[in-house]
């Protein structure tokens, strides 16, 4: 967070420095540039005044009262002084009281008596010449435009440099004023933008922090709940083992049959504890990604038949013969060991909850690219309010019955973890006559078409 803020402040300083340099350059370069700009504008104005006077003298209207008024307007509009003389040095028109000095200056140009002056010729045409006359100071100089009109009369148009410099100063003041306002707005905008970004980053950081705190609290709550559940699950078998062990030690019963019974209870409870610990370790390795998911192509039909053959003794103990009529291979693409554990939990759950003289049915149904493996058992449906929680660790719908058959409430949470790790669907469906648990797997041929199967897989099995 500190690095981000300092970077933005650094950007603000850099932009401020760049703007300051530009402002300094504007201060240094604006005066000469503006002087040159207004000087060119004044020359254009002097040429316009020359054309209008040339036209008036060409058509002979220069001595009319109407043109006299126009002549004054020309001088005011272009801020120039004008004098027109004929070859006899007779003044025809003049705009200022010091026209005699301008007459002398014009005659000096004609007879080249002003060469000793330090003048700068700006433009030299066949009919006129533009000169920049330097004074003792820049404001005392002026620009002269002199020449011969078509009718042979001579003219001199003079524009003082003072007006040019004054215009440049006004423009420079306006430019600096504008740049100052622009700079202030820019700096304020940068500060506000930086504060806004910083505030947003602080808000985002606070939100992330609150989310981390929430997750940590959830983890702490889960840890506490987990320890409480484990303690609760282990309390009963530990108490039984301890009680029966103390009974054996104290010789509560001397006959061999009672001693064997005590030993069987101890062994049975120890086996339950061992199973619970193994399931918790297995679940922990799945949830924390320590158990590697290895997807391969395998025959789901063969997996189920092999398991049922190995677990046939469990079904006979409850006078249950599972119904599984599928005989043709059903190739799927998933984690074989994980799916075997899912089926184990589903089948064990069905055996523990099947109704007396009921039945267990195992089905494989293909639908599109998915194969659904389901285990149905007759018996009481799961209460609707309990269905959302049956996948949670240690959740038991009927705690007394679960304790009776030694259930830990971890089996379905293992199913959930495995199916989510292989990205397969899972769920439960209630029927009036019983309950069906299912798991959905990707068919092998569909996985091949989708490019999910490595080229090294045995394609003959698909």
At 29-80, the pLDDT tens digits run 666 777 788 888 888 888 888 888 888 777 766 777 777 788 888 888 878 8
Instruction: Give tens-digit pLDDT for 103-156.
Output: 888 888 887 766 555 678 888 888 888 888 877 776 678 888 988 888 888 888
Q: How many CB atoms lie within 10 A of CB 434?
A: 22
The Cα–Cα gap between 101 and 94 comes to 11
- pLDDT given at position 64: 73
Tell me 60's DSSP state.
T
Residue 43 φ then ψ, to 5°: -65, -40
- pLDDT given at position 231: 64
The Cα–Cα gap between 357 and 433 comes to 13
SS3 assignment, position 377: strand
For the chain, 462 residues long, give each residue's pLDDT as a single digit of tens: 444 445 656 666 776 677 677 666 666 666 677 778 888 888 888 888 888 888 877 776 677 777 778 888 888 887 888 888 887 788 888 887 677 888 888 888 887 766 555 678 888 888 888 888 877 776 678 888 988 888 888 888 888 888 777 777 777 777 777 777 777 777 677 666 666 666 677 778 788 888 888 878 876 776 666 666 566 566 666 777 777 787 777 776 667 777 777 787 778 777 767 766 776 676 666 666 666 778 899 999 999 999 888 877 777 777 888 899 877 899 999 989 889 889 988 998 898 889 888 899 999 999 999 999 999 999 989 888 888 888 887 776 655 444 454 455 778 888 898 899 888 999 999 998 999 999 999 999 988 888 877 644 555 555
- pLDDT given at position 356: 83
Residue 60 CA, chain-centre distance (Å), reads 79
SS3 assignment, position 142: strand
Strand order in the sheet with 154-160: 91-94, 81-85, 154-160, 142-148, 128-133, 119-124
Q: How many CB atoms lie within 10 A of CB 226?
A: 14
- pLDDT given at position 304: 92
- pLDDT given at position 400: 47
Instruction: Give tens-digit pLDDT for 231-246.
Output: 656 666 677 777 778 7
Domains of the chain plus CATH, in order, are 292-461 (3.30.565.10)
The Cα–Cα gap between 267 and 263 comes to 6
Tell me 406's DSSP state.
T
The pTM assigned to this predicted structure is 0.48
Element (H, E) at 438: strand 434-443
- pLDDT given at position 3: 47
The Cα–Cα gap between 202 and 197 comes to 8
The Cα–Cα gap between 304 and 310 comes to 10
**Under 8 Å between Cβ of 349 and 428:** no
Strands 142-148 and 91-94, by their bridges, are unpaired
- pLDDT given at position 401: 47
């Amino acid at each position: 967070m500190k690095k981000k803020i300092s970077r933005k402040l650094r950007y603000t300083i850099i932009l401020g420095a760049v703007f300051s340099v530009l402002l300094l350059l504007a201060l240094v370069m604006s005066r000469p540039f503006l002087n040159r700009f207004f000087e060119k504008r004044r020359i254009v104005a002097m040429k316009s005044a020359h054309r209008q006077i040339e036209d008036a003298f060409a058509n002979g209207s220069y001595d009319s009262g109407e043109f006299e008024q126009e002549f004054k307007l020309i001088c005011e509009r272009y801020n120039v002084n004008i004098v027109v003389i004929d070859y006899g040095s007779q003044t025809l028109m003049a705009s200022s009281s010091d026209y005699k000095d301008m007459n002398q200056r014009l005659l000096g140009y004609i007879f080249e008596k002003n060469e000793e002056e330090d003048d700068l010729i700006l433009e030299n045409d066949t009919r006129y010449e533009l000169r920049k006359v330097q004074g003792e100071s820049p404001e005392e100089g002026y620009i002269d435009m002199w020449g011969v009109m078509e009718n042979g009369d001579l003219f001199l148009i003079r524009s003082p440099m003072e007006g040019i410099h004054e215009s440049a100063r006004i423009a420079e003041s306006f430019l600096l004023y504008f740049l100052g306002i622009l700079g202030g707005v820019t700096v304020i905008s940068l500060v506000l933008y930086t504060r806004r970004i910083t505030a947003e980053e602080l808000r985002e950081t606070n939100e992330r922090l609150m989310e981390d705190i929430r997750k940590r609290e959830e983890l702490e709550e889960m840890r506490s709940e987990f320890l409480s559940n484990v303690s609760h699950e282990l309390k009963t078998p530990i108490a039984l083992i301890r009680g029966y062990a103390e009974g054996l030690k104290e010789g509560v019963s001397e006959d061999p049959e009672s001693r064997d019974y005590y030993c069987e209870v101890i062994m049975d409870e120890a086996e339950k504890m061992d199973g619970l610990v193994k399931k918790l370790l297995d679940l922990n390795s799945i949830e924390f990604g320590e158990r590697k998911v290895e997807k391969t192509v395998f025959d789901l039909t063969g997996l189920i038949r092999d398991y049922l053959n190995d677990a046939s003794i469990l079904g006979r103990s409850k006078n249950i013969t599972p119904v599984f009529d599928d005989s043709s291979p059903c190739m799927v693409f998933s984690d074989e060991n994980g799916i075997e554990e899912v089926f184990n939990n589903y089948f064990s759950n069905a055996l523990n909850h099947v109704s007396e003289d009921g039945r267990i049915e195992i089905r494989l149904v293909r639908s599109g690219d998915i194969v659904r493996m389901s285990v149905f058992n007759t018996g009481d449906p799961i209460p609707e309010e309990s269905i959302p929680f049956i996948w949670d660790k240690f959740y038991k719908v009927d705690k007394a019955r679960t304790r009776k058959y030694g259930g830990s409430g971890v089996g379905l949470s293992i199913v959930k973890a495995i199916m989510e790790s292989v990205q397969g669907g899972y769920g439960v469906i209630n029927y009036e006559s019983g309950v069906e648990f299912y798991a959905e797997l990707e068919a092998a041929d569909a996985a091949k078409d989708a490019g999910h199967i490595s080229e090294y897989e045995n394609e003959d099995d698909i």
